Amino acid sequence: MTTLKTTITTRPQVFAVACIAASSLLLAAPFAAADEYDPSKQLNVTIAFGPGGGNDVLARTLIEILDKYDLYEGDIVATNRPGGSGAVGWGYIYSQQGNPHHISTTSGSFIATPLQADTPWDTLDFTHVALMAADDQVLVVNAESSINTFEEFVEYAQQEPLSVGGIGSVNNDFIVAQLLSVEAGYEYDYIPFNQQGELTTALLSNSIDAMVATPGSIIGLIEAGDFRALAFSAEQVPEALEGVPSFEELGVADAAVPMPRGLILPPNVSDEARQWWIDTITEVVETPEWQEYVKANFLTENVLLGDDFTGFLETSINNFRTILTETGAI
């Protein structure tokens, strides 16, 4: 029931032609596959999380853009395969070795899950296409708090450890909170939560002293003056958070670990297919729809193509591994 079909070729005859073309190509596959990518075949989009989450919205936005600008000729079928913090969905993509007609979108769990669980796949096994945007974090306190700036926050924390909340214990929120404490030099207690709602409520009720969150989830409370933003992890601070210093400005740039919103293909996909997708994503991120998506969800514009994306993932994995080994989580 969670499968939705986006049909691009709606007219039956076009579809029939496409089918014939596809089947003839199948016959010629040994010769053709290595040379050219065939965007007329059905594209399978695997979403490793349930409907309605950040990863799902990203995948469906991408499909809409591919559809609207005719960037992909064939049918596009999106399937949610949630379970095991992405282990199930990306495990499925992993099983499609070499098949360039399967794609999937990534999130923080793409790095965290294989470190934490014994998954058959590893983050670096896949064919990395591009980082399309990044989900950055903001450090906030309740506006009733006497802490007004990041400097004050560090001062307070050095006198008496503060409690800082975030989502999960093997997750970007925790990594950022931990790196911040190391970089700025203070002690703190990390309080993990399962749901954003519970986390936000905990700060709102003054149960915790501060929290790390993505701006999209709490922007309304910041604008209304209920929460005070102290620091933002990316260099480029979104409009809605104007005046909030970036980690870089505060001298803690190394604490920034953005959540990757990117695109991957199964392992061992041909270079031609990878290049085709890199070119396509370059077009996708230029569209006004994509700009709007990035803005509406308070993401950070951050496009890294091909090997640059792989490099980005390697750095993130190292960050995660170092911290999680230190804290004993893995």
Site of interaction with another protein (CB under 8 A): 1-2, 4, 50-54, 56-57, 60, 64, 79-85, 87-88, 91, 113, 116-119, 163, 168-170, 189-198, 200-202, 204-208, 216, 218-224, 226, 240, 292, 296-297, 324, 328-330
Select 286 or 292, whichever has its Cβ closest to another protein: 292
CB of 164 vs another protein, minimal distance in Å: 11
Provide the minimum distance between the beta carbon of 200 and another protein in the complex, in angstroms, as a whole number: 5
Q: How far apart are CA 35 and CA 103, in angstroms?
A: 19
Residue 68 C-beta: closest distance to another protein, Å:
11
- Please identify, using beta-carbon distances, which residue of 36 and 189 lies nearer to another protein: 189
Residue 168 CB, nearest distance to another protein (Å)? 7
Angle, nearest 10°, between helix axes 172-184 and 307-327? 70
Nearer to another protein among residue 69 and residue 275 (C-beta): 69
- C-alpha torsion angle, residues 187, 192, 195, 196 (rounded to 10): 0
CB of 138 to another protein, least distance (A): 14
Instruction: Tell me the C-alpha distance between 159 and 146, whole Å.
Output: 14
Residue 53: partners with Cβ closer than 8 Å, 6 or more residues away: none
Structure tokens at 308: 């640059």
Instruction: Find the shortest distance in angstroms from Cβ 203 to another protein.
Output: 9
Residues whose CB falls within 8 Å of the CB of residue 156, separated by 6 or more in sequence, listed in order: 147, 162, 209
What's the residue count for the chain? 330
CB of 130 to another protein, least distance (A): 22
Q: How far is it, in rounded angstroms, from Cα 232 to Cα 246?
A: 5
| Closer residue to another protein in complex, CB, 51/98 | 51
* CB of 289 closer than 8 Å to CB of 64: yes
Task: Judge contact between 193 and 166, C-beta under 8 A.
Answer: yes
**Residue whose CB is less far from another protein, 52 or 251:** 52
Nearest residue (CB) to another protein, 84 versus 98: 84
Phi/psi at 223 (5° precision) = -65, -35
54 Cβ neighbours under 8 A, 6+ residues apart: 107, 135, 261, 297
Q: Toward another protein, which CB reaches closer, 10 or 194?
A: 194
